[in-house]
């Protein structure tokens, strides 16, 4: 049943992949607000919610969730096609932490009560979630987190600070990793807690990033009282639950979409700057294009793993390395051919797609977030190549 619209969604799984793609494509093209195509920055909730509610109404907000919980129950390949079509049309990424991260986690680890209470509110857009994992002194070393939750009667009292919390200023709920056993070893003693952002003691402070955008926030917790019932899964087992969700993140961060977008922009910029006749640029461009196609081929292999229902191994980290470094190289080439235009803050001559500096800056953190390139290389060296610690 569709928990929101009350109508049974068509069984999209019954379609073959190509037909599915076409159905999705047609609907997106007909329904996506044209002025929001290819936004240069991550949209805020108030900008993006018309599209969010349109997806919700159609029953397509959570394509990966099982049908019994209001999702489309799509298999991995159809999920990827769905994402590809959104990306193809330049659809803005929605405030999706509830959809992508929390929903699947609750479905797997949540109590029946929690599922019944929270999932419909995600599907309806009543709860907009953000993710409270990173801390100022943890960064890539997530297991060293220090935000504490101490049981006091029927409530946990939370104290500490989260950082890099994407769109926290738009969210009304946050899911947290907190330390519930200060004496345990790093990965142990961590629990998973759901917190209403309107609880007293929470302060959100946006961080202006190099894009001059307030996508990320710091979130401070000062004696924040959270009902005991908001604990998900077992006490002190939050780390394992969160980690189980990260393998999805690893292939997501290795998707060629950013490089694809940048390569198209590079081509447009090169045409505008008239450098395609320069064989030196042609050589650089040929290298970037073949690198991109090879990345796509490598990505396709991991998609094939999913398609066969097999787990992704640690080597999926190499996708993220290749994609983020290629994305950066493409934008560096853009900066070089843009010449003096590379200095400009705003898109060139009114074409909002041509903003070399903006894209160059956007590419910078891709080798930092989701585990730096150094961390990814450490993982592969140890877990794939078997090199000693």
Partner 1 sequence: MSSAAGIAPYSDDQAESARMIRDSAAGYATDVARARALRFTNPGFSKDTFREMGELGWIGLAVPEAAGGSGLGMVELVTLSEELGRGLAPEPVIPATLSALLLAEAGETELLGQLLAGEAVVLTAWQDRAATLKPCLDAAATRRFIPMAAGATHFLVPTEAGLTVVEAAGADLVTEPTNDGGNLGTLRPKTYQSVGQATLGPALDKAALATAAYLLGGMEAAFAMTLAYLNTRQQFGRIIGTFQALQHKAVDVKVQIALTRAAVEQAAAALDAGTTGDAASALVSRAKARASEASMIVGQMCVQLSGGIGYTDDYDVGLYLRKAMTLAPLFGGAALHRARFVQLSPETEDA
The footprint of partner 1 on residues 154-193 (CB under 8 A) is 163-164
Residue 203 or 283: the one with the smaller Cβ distance to a copy of itself is 283
From 9-17, 89-97, 248-256, 272-280, span contacting a copy of itself (CB under 8 A): 272-280
Question: How do strand 155-166 and strand 148-152 relate by DSSP bridges?
Answer: antiparallel
Handedness of CA 115, 117, 123, 126 (dihedral sign): negative
Instruction: Out of 177, 311, 323, 329, name the contact with partner 1 by CB under 8 A.
Output: 311
Q: Which residues contact 290 (CB under 8 A, 6 or more apart)?
A: none
- Please count the CA atoms within 13 angstroms of the CA of 375 that sit on its side-chain side: 13
H-helix or E-strand containing 23? Answer: helix 17-31
Subset of 67-106 contacting partner 1 (CB under 8 A): 87-88, 90
Are the C-beta atoms of 100 and 71 separated by less than 8 Å?
no
Instruction: Out of 279, 311, 386, 389, name the contact with a copy of itself by CB under 8 A.
Output: 279
Are the C-beta atoms of 3 and 120 separated by less than 8 Å?
yes
Asked whether position 336 contacts a copy of itself by CB under 8 A, the answer is no
Subset of 199-228 contacting a copy of itself (CB under 8 A): none
| Shortest distance (Å) from residue 250 CB to partner 1 | 11
Asked whether position 297 contacts partner 1 by CB under 8 A, the answer is yes
Asked whether position 286 contacts partner 1 by CB under 8 A, the answer is yes
| Shortest distance (Å) from residue 331 CB to partner 1 | 10
Tell me the C-alpha distance between 16 and 18, whole Å. Answer: 6
Name the binder of 339 from partner 1, a copy of itself, none, CB < 5-8 A by kind: partner 1
Q: Is 249 a catalytic residue?
A: yes
- The residue annotated as part of the active site, out of 87, 188, 249, 325, is 249
Asked whether position 388 contacts partner 1 by CB under 8 A, the answer is yes
Asked whether position 360 contacts partner 1 by CB under 8 A, the answer is yes
The structure tokens 């049943």 sit at 1
> Tokens standing for 264?
């198209």
Residue 279 or 350: the one with the smaller Cβ distance to a copy of itself is 279
Sheet strands (E) in 96-142:
129-132
Are the C-beta atoms of 17 and 78 separated by less than 8 Å?
yes
The structure tokens 């877990």 sit at 383
Asked whether position 334 contacts partner 1 by CB under 8 A, the answer is no
The catalytic residue positions are 249
Residues that bind a copy of itself in the complex, under the rule CB under 8 A: 278-280, 282-283
């Amino acid at each position: 049943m569709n928990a929101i619209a009350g109508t049974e969604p068509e069984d999209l799984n019954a379609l073959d992949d190509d037909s599915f793609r076409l159905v999705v494509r047609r609907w997106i093209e007909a329904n996506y607000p044209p002025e929001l195509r290819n936004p240069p920055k991550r949209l805020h909730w108030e900008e993006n919610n018309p599209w969010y509610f349109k997806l919700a109404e159609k029953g397509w907000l959570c394509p990966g969730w099982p049908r019994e919980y209001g999702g489309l129950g799509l298999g991995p390949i159809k999920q990827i096609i769905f994402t590809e079509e959104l990306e193809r049309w330049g659809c803005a990424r929605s405030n999706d932490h509830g959809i992508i991260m929390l929903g699947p986690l609750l479905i797997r680890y949540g109590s029946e009560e929690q599922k019944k209470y929270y999932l419909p509110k995600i599907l309806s857009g009543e709860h907009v979630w953000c993710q409270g994992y990173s801390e100022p002194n943890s960064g890539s070393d997530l297991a060293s987190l220090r935000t504490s939750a101490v049981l006091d009667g029927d409530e946990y009292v939370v104290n500490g600070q989260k950082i890099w919390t994407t769109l926290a200023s738009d969210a009304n709920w946050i899911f947290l990793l907190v330390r519930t056993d200060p004496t345990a070893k790093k990965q142990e003693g961590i629990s998973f807690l759901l917190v209403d952002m309107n609880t007293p003691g929470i302060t959100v402070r946006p961080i202006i990033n190099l894009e001059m955008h307030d996508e990320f926030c710091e979130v401070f917790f000062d004696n924040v009282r959270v009902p005991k019932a908001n604990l998900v899964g077992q006490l002190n087992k939050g780390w394992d639950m969160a980690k189980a969700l990260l393998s999805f993140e690893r292939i997501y961060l290795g998707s060629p979409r950013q490089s694809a977008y940048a390569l198209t922009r590079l081509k447009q910029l090169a045409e505008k700057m008239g450098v395609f006749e320069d064989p030196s640029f042609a050589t650089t461009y040929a290298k970037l294009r073949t690198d991109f196609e090879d990345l796509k081929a490598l990505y396709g292999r991991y998609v094939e793993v999913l398609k066969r229902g097999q787990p992704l191994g640690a080597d999926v980290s190499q996708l993220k390395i290749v994609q983020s470094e290629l994305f950066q190289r493409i934008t560096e080439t853009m900066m070089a051919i843009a010449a003096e235009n590379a200095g400009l803050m705003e898109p060139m001559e009114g074409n909002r797609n041509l903003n070399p500096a903006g894209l160059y800056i956007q590419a910078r953190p891709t080798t930092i977030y989701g585990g730096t390139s150094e961390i990814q290389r450490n993982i592969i060296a140890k877990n794939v190549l078997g090199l000693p610690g």
